Chain A
Amino acid sequence: MERRPARRPAADIGRHGVTFFRSRRRKGGRARLVTGFLAFLAFAHAALASPEFAETLERLGAAKSYEDRLLAARRLAESGHPNALAVLGDLLEGRLYTTRTDGRVVVAETAGEGYAIRDPATGEDLGRVGRRDVTRIGLNNQLRSSLRMLIAKLRLEDDNKSRRLAAIEEIGRSGDAEMIDVLAELAGREHDDKIKKAIETAIAVLRLDAEDAETRIAAIEAVSGNMSAHVRAKLTRLAGDDSLDAETREAAARALERIEAKAERYELLSTMFFGLSLGSVLVLAAIGLSVTFGIKGVINMAHGELIMLGAYTTYVVQQAFPSAIDYSLPIAIPAAFVVSGLVGIAIERGIVRFLYGRPLETLLATFGVSLILQQTVRTVFSPLNRSVTTPSWMSGSIEIVPGFALTLNRLYILAFSLVVFALLLLVLRYTRLGLEMRAVTQNRAMAKAMGIRSDRVDMLAFGLGAGIAGVAGVALSQLTNVGPNLGQAYIVDSFMVVVFGGVGNLWGTLVSGLGLGVVSKLLEPEVGAVLAKILVLVFLILFIQKRPSGLFPQKGRAAEG
């Protein structure tokens, strides 16, 4: 109660302060922005063509001794000129020349018989000269190392954070003990935590080579959680170096152990990720199957070939629009859905429809279809694998923490399969088709009595399952080779997933697909890829003995019959 009045004025002042600033900005805001921009342009131009910089360059060109050249180079570095770094780099690489006629400093690059030269400060093209018209500005080793130092310092001052980070890491790798002071000084000025940390690591890495054992051990402690390859290499060397004292070696060995343990954890994580990725592919391949399986227990042996058709659709789309690879997938996904879906509907109308109630015959007939589809693709395209390009936004990987990266295409496919799964769930739950499908699956006679055209529902459901297979094919085309046998490789696995999860149970399919993916990837490093596959198959065969209707058996009326 008592403090309230006391605080109020302070708040008021604050508010006034804010309004004060606002009003000032409002008054001259736009004008200042425009003038500021113009001023910046003028400044930028002036900076590029700065007479001071040109003069220093001239001095560099005219310098007769290496000491003078170093002095000139220092002044260049201190000039703050935007091209200073590039010029120093050119000097170090031996691309800086003086012209014989007027002693002008130019950057020269070999072009045909002579050189193409340009102005180092402005980058202006100065045409071509003969080989004898220019003289290289010579360097000796001492000058070279000083130049390197100058360049490193300049790069450390870079405004761009990621470039600064790269520079710091590079210095750490260089093993140049002289840079420790530079880095330490930089650390004092740096505000960004991440960069500060990077600097500390770089310093520690450099100190690994210190003469003094205590410094060395402290440095070892500091880098013990670091995952970069050069730190590991260095520690391995320290641990095995007999000329060092036992304490250092022990510390290095301990640090290595810690790093190895961390690496193992990351290894496990990335195995899990690969497992999930494999699982997501299995889920994609299996949910379509689960849908067709759900209606009247139809086993569609041509499902794998419908997946293959989806993959080939991606290939065709990319061939049709070679300039728009980045947009090929958004086009290919609906295209594959339609292509495979139509083929699926054709199979249903032409064959499966006549065989309802005879599952074994359905299995054989659809197998025949799968052979025909395979051979068609072989005849139309070729028996060889076709290459499907990965769009640029899907290639590469993201680093979660150092030493642990996820490849983008697998990440996208994992997300994609979850999206497809969610969409399918929504379709089944909230659309008319979904409602009718569920009704027909649960009780066909009753559904018919209620006026549902079960015939049409069968057809559309088959088409839906086939369309999802096509979409799965698009995803698979980003992971494996696209060939006529693509579908065969996945058909047995996806059947296993469906059966394991419980027939006609989408959630079961999801869980069993992801689970099987992870388990087989976890087994792989232990027993090898082939044996892992065999073990999983054997496990499934045994599992089906124990629970013939899968992990999540259907309950209630749907389970009868």
Chain B
Amino acid sequence: MLFRRLLTDDRGGRLFLAALGVVTVIVPIANLVMPPDSPLHVSTFTVALLGKFLCYALLAIALDLVWGYAGILSLGHGAFFALGGYAMGMHLMRQIGSRGVYGHPELPDFMVFLNWEKLPWYWHGFDMFWFAMLMVVLVPGALAFVFGWLAFRSRVKGVYFSIITQAMTYALMLAFFRNEMGFGGNNGLTDFKDLLGASLQAPSTRVALFVVSAIALAGGYLVCRYIVTSRLGRVLTAIRDSEDRARFVGFKVEHYKVWVFTVSAMLAGVAGALYVPQVGIINPNEFQPLNSIELVVWVAVGGRGTLYGAALGALAVNYAKSVLTVEFPDAWLFALGALFVIVTLLLPNGVYDAAAAIKRLLGRRLRHA
């Protein structure tokens, strides 16, 4: 019943979920069952890379929810992603236990290195998995709630909101770079050993993380889809198209905005939490304003306002990035910059427009033929 509502008018979404499902089945088999010399074998490195891309896709969907549907352009979504990542990283740090370089039973290496006597209060509880997972959603959610509440209540909107979110992630970056913050300074958190008793280096763990990421992506997609197809989603779209009218009609615009912003931040936090064990490190660079803004271009390329488009945009741009940065390291920023300009100038709806343009061209040719 619910699924019918979510997916009836969503051919793209159905295709997207189906493709995701297929990949989620094939990749583990190709990695674990196929022998390494088989042409169908997928290396563990590729699995981790794909898992990383899936996390990015989830992050892109989270941003599309606020940007595409509520018209809130956040240039600080990378901060929520990184906060979720740090929460996960803290759990993984506590899991190291006495296996660190200094062999301290409780303190992570960097705290021993800084001559800290005991664990700071905010590190307590992260040794428990459930607590850490709770924090993965609660910390970004709480920040987004407070920030959004302050901002939307005083009707900060449009570019102003974009810029203060950028300032927010910038301030967080500076803060996390400080050793005194107790998050490992500029080295961040790394040297993770295992998660829930499974070694992070083992291929099976990698595959499991990949599958979990895929499930989270599908889940995130459905959650967002649920939101945008609900009555609430229509109100959000109304707010996006004309905030003042929505307010005059009697909707509490701020409440809707804060709510969707918080949900989006929580999804970003989940994406970050899944990302960290797969790349093995989290450091303050994740807070860089550039990261957040790159994320915006993923969504723009995929087409804002189509959730699966955002996910596909994230996958496409990141694939291009990983190819380009290896083949032509200098060209990547040119390409990214050009992408920003082209997408905003020519393709306001991303690949959607491109597809439509191609269809038009083909149609014309067919007619002429």
Interface residues of A (CB under 8 A from B): 297, 299, 351, 354-355, 359-365, 367-372, 374-376, 378-379, 492, 495-496, 499, 528, 530-531, 533-534, 537-538, 540-542, 544-546, 548
**Which residues of the partner chain A approach B300 to less than 8 Å between Cβ atoms?**
364
How far apart sit A528 and B181, CA to CA, in the bound complex (Å)? 13
**Which residues of the partner chain B approach A546 to less than 8 Å between Cβ atoms?**
154
B340 lies within 8 A of A379 (CB): no
Known A368-B341, A534-B174, A537-B167; contact A548-B156, beta-carbon cutoff 8 A: yes
B166 lies within 8 A of A544 (CB): no
A371 lies within 8 A of B344 (CB): no
**Which residues of the partner chain A approach B158 to less than 8 Å between Cβ atoms?**
359-360
**Which residues of the partner chain B approach A369 to less than 8 Å between Cβ atoms?**
337, 340-341
Pick from A360, A365, A379, A541: contact of B162, CB under 8 Å: A360
How far apart sit A354 and B162, CA to CA, in the bound complex (Å)? 21
**Which residues of the partner chain B approach A496 to less than 8 Å between Cβ atoms?**
167
B163 lies within 8 A of A495 (CB): yes
Question: What's the least CB distance linking B56 to chain A, in Å?
Answer: 18
Total inter-chain residue pairs, C-beta < 8 Å: 118
How far apart sit A368 and B333, CA to CA, in the bound complex (Å)? 9
Closest to A542 in B: B150
**Which residues of the partner chain A approach B334 to less than 8 Å between Cβ atoms?**
371-372, 375-376
* 28 A–B contacts from the bound complex (CB under 8 Å): A354-B345, A364-B296, A364-B344, A365-B344, A368-B339, A368-B340, A368-B341, A369-B337, A370-B337, A371-B333, A371-B336, A375-B337, A378-B333, A495-B167, A496-B167, A531-B175, A531-B178, A533-B174, A534-B175, A540-B164, A541-B147, A541-B168, A541-B171, A542-B150, A545-B151, A545-B153, A545-B154, A548-B155
The 3 closest A-B pairs by CB, nearest first: A368-B340, A371-B337, A372-B337
A364 lies within 8 A of B340 (CB): yes
Q: What string of 1s and 0s marks CB contacts (under 8 Å) between B332-358 and chain A?
A: 011011111101110010000000000
Q: What string of 1s and 0s marks CB contacts (under 8 Å) between B125-137 and chain A?
A: 0000000000000
Question: What's the least CB distance linking A357 to chain B, in Å?
Answer: 12
A361 lies within 8 A of B175 (CB): no
How far apart sit A374 and B153, CA to CA, in the bound complex (Å)? 37
How far apart sit A351 and B163, CA to CA, in the bound complex (Å)? 20
Closest to B169 in A: A492
How far apart sit A383 and B151, CA to CA, in the bound complex (Å)? 38
Within 8 A of A (CB), among B288-320: 289, 293, 296-297, 300
Is B117 interfacial (CB-CB < 8 Å)? Answer: no
B177 lies within 8 A of A530 (CB): yes
Question: What's the least CB distance linking B150 to chain A, in Å?
Answer: 5
**Contacts A533-B171, A541-B147 known; 20 new A-B pairs at CB < 8 A:** A360-B162, A361-B348, A364-B293, A364-B297, A364-B344, A368-B340, A371-B337, A375-B333, A492-B167, A492-B289, A495-B166, A530-B178, A537-B171, A540-B164, A540-B167, A541-B150, A541-B167, A544-B151, A544-B154, A548-B160
Closest to B67 in A: A360
Pick from B150, B151, B330, B339: contact of A378, CB under 8 Å: B330
**Which residues of the partner chain B approach A544 to less than 8 Å between Cβ atoms?**
151, 154, 156, 160, 164
Interface residues of B (CB under 8 A from A): 73, 147, 150-151, 153-156, 158-160, 162-164, 166-168, 170-171, 174-175, 177-178, 289, 293, 296-297, 300, 330, 333-334, 336-341, 343-345, 348
B163 lies within 8 A of A372 (CB): no
Known A372-B338, A375-B337, A531-B178; contact A545-B330, beta-carbon cutoff 8 A: no
Interface of A is mostly: helix
How far apart sit A142 and B333, CA to CA, in the bound complex (Å)? 75
**Which residues of the partner chain B approach A372 to less than 8 Å between Cβ atoms?**
333-334, 337-338, 341
**Which residues of the partner chain B approach A370 to less than 8 Å between Cβ atoms?**
337
**Which residues of the partner chain A approach B178 to less than 8 Å between Cβ atoms?**
528, 530-531
How far apart sit A81 and B330, CA to CA, in the bound complex (Å)? 70
**Which residues of the partner chain A approach B337 to less than 8 Å between Cβ atoms?**
367-372, 375
Closest to A372 in B: B337
Closest to A541 in B: B164
Question: What's the least CB distance linking A375 to chain B, in Å?
Answer: 4
How far apart sit A372 and B167, CA to CA, in the bound complex (Å)? 22
How far apart sit A514 and B118, CA to CA, in the bound complex (Å)? 42
**Which residues of the partner chain B approach A374 to less than 8 Å between Cβ atoms?**
333
Known A367-B340, A368-B337, A374-B333; contact A534-B156, beta-carbon cutoff 8 A: no
A379 lies within 8 A of B330 (CB): yes
Closest to B339 in A: A368
Pick from A364, A379, A492: contact of B170, CB under 8 Å: A492
**Which residues of the partner chain A approach B177 to less than 8 Å between Cβ atoms?**
530
How far apart sit A375 and B332, CA to CA, in the bound complex (Å)? 9
**Which residues of the partner chain B approach A351 to less than 8 Å between Cβ atoms?**
341, 345
**Which residues of the partner chain A approach B348 to less than 8 Å between Cβ atoms?**
361
Closest to B152 in A: A545
Interface-centre pick from A355, A363, A374, A538 (highest chain B CB count, 10 A): A363
How far apart sit A546 and B151, CA to CA, in the bound complex (Å)? 9
**Which residues of the partner chain A approach B338 to less than 8 Å between Cβ atoms?**
368, 372
A545 lies within 8 A of B174 (CB): no
Question: What's the least CB distance linking B343 to chain A, in Å?
Answer: 8
A530 lies within 8 A of B167 (CB): no
Question: What's the least CB distance linking B356 to chain A, in Å?
Answer: 18
Closest to B332 in A: A375
How far apart sit A538 and B168, CA to CA, in the bound complex (Å)? 8
A365 lies within 8 A of B175 (CB): no
B341 lies within 8 A of A360 (CB): no
A363 lies within 8 A of B345 (CB): no
How far apart sit A374 and B336, CA to CA, in the bound complex (Å)? 12
How far apart sit A368 and B335, CA to CA, in the bound complex (Å)? 9
Question: What's the least CB distance linking B286 to chain A, in Å?
Answer: 17
**Which residues of the partner chain A approach B170 to less than 8 Å between Cβ atoms?**
492, 537
How far apart sit A224 and B289, CA to CA, in the bound complex (Å)? 52
Known A359-B158, A492-B167, A530-B178; contact A368-B330, beta-carbon cutoff 8 A: no
How far apart sit A371 and B341, CA to CA, in the bound complex (Å)? 10
Interface-centre pick from B153, B289, B345 (highest chain A CB count, 10 A): B345
Question: What's the least CB distance linking B73 to chain A, in Å?
Answer: 5
Closest to B177 in A: A530
How far apart sit A354 and B348, CA to CA, in the bound complex (Å)? 12
Question: What's the least CB distance linking A6 to chain B, in Å?
Answer: 80
**Which residues of the partner chain B approach A548 to less than 8 Å between Cβ atoms?**
154-156, 160
B293 lies within 8 A of A367 (CB): yes
How far apart sit A534 and B175, CA to CA, in the bound complex (Å)? 7
**Which residues of the partner chain B approach A379 to less than 8 Å between Cβ atoms?**
330
How far apart sit A359 and B344, CA to CA, in the bound complex (Å)? 11
Pick from B163, B296, B297: contact of A499, CB under 8 Å: B163
Question: What's the least CB distance linking A537 to chain B, in Å?
Answer: 4
**Which residues of the partner chain A approach B296 to less than 8 Å between Cβ atoms?**
364
How far apart sit A360 and B333, CA to CA, in the bound complex (Å)? 21
Interface-centre pick from B153, B166, B167, B300 (highest chain A CB count, 10 A): B167
Pick from A371, A375, A540: contact of B340, CB under 8 Å: A371
A538 lies within 8 A of B171 (CB): yes
B156 lies within 8 A of A530 (CB): no
Question: What's the least CB distance linking A347 to chain B, in Å?
Answer: 10
Closest to A379 in B: B330
How far apart sit A370 and B345, CA to CA, in the bound complex (Å)? 16
How far apart sit A280 and B336, CA to CA, in the bound complex (Å)? 33
